[in-house]
Amino acid sequence: MKFNREKEVEHLIERELKPDGITDERVLQALYRVKRERFIPQSLKDRAYGNYPLPIGENQTISQPYIVALMTQALDIKPSDKVLEIGTGSGYQAAILAELSSVVYSIERIESLSAYARTNLYSQGYNNVFLIVGDGSVGLPEYAPFDKIIVTAAAPRVPDPLFSQLKKGGKMAIPVGGRSVQDLQLIEKALNGRVYKSSLCGCRFVPLIGGEGWKD
Ligand code: SAH
């Protein structure tokens, strides 16, 4: 059967995301607009709107749409936000963020994946995403502070440098736990300096490898 994008994306939104608590219209619209089939190998195109992760090469995966939506919704992205993403991968999450914010900085440690994301993003006109190759577990001090930080690889703990690079009033979404299963946490740095942590759900991300992450 021919791939029918509209039918597939509507099914994902109506049958998977909304019933599971993704209610923010701006997030749903971003999921509707961004073409996930352009961020995965063409051989997997027919499965672009399945609610599961898919391989993107280099032993890495593009996250499950529900997790992308959940993290984006929890971060409450504003049009004026400057966002930092750790783990560019395919560039899909970066594209979702780029739809909702003013600028996205995204760090990837594997050069070939960053190049893949660059092609995926720039061919679709996402010119407000800046891609950096390096160890994102230490953040990006030269462009800090950030309104929002999203970590899309599993960390053993919240890296101190990332927490310091978060603005007061800012939010960070990060999977924290073991190498194979984690707790998806939302961390809020309140204006009065207090820190609030909540758990969004259990999850499985590929490991964050680096100075403030796991060893290779
Ligand atoms: N957000 C991506 C999925 C990311 S998968 C998407 O939408 O497709 C996690 C990515 O984090 C992998 O590509 C992995 O190489 C990268 N990664 C792991 N440790 C990292 C680190 N310390 N700095 C930057 N990227 C890292």
**Tens of pLDDT along 40-93?**
999 999 999 999 999 999 999 999 999 999 999 999 999 999 999 999 999 999
- The answer to whether position 122 is within a domain reads yes
- The answer to whether position 48 is within a domain reads yes
- The answer to whether position 213 is within a domain reads no
CA 28 to ligand 1 centroid distance, Å: 23
- The answer to whether position 211 is within a domain reads no
What CATH number does residue 168 fall under?
3.40.50.150
Domain that holds residue 86: 5-203
The total of structural domains in the chain comes to: 1
Using CA atoms, how far apart are residues 197 and 112, in angstroms rounded to an integer? 34
- The answer to whether position 93 is within a domain reads yes
- The answer to whether position 125 is within a domain reads yes
Q: Which of 52, 54, 68, 86 has most ligand 1 atoms within 8 Å of its beta carbon, as the pocket-test mutant? A: 86
Atom of ligand 1 nearest to the CA of 63: 3
- Please tell me whether the overall predicted TM-score, pTM, comes out greater than 0.95 for this model: yes
- The answer to whether position 46 is within a domain reads yes
pLDDT digits (tens, 9 = 90+) for 124-167: 999 999 999 999 999 999 999 999 999 999 999 999 999 999 99
- The answer to whether position 212 is within a domain reads no
- H helical segments located in the chain: 5-11, 25-33, 65-75, 92-100, 111-122, 160-164
CA 90 to ligand 1 centroid distance, Å: 9
The radius of gyration computed from the CA coordinates of the chain, to the nearest angstrom, equals 16
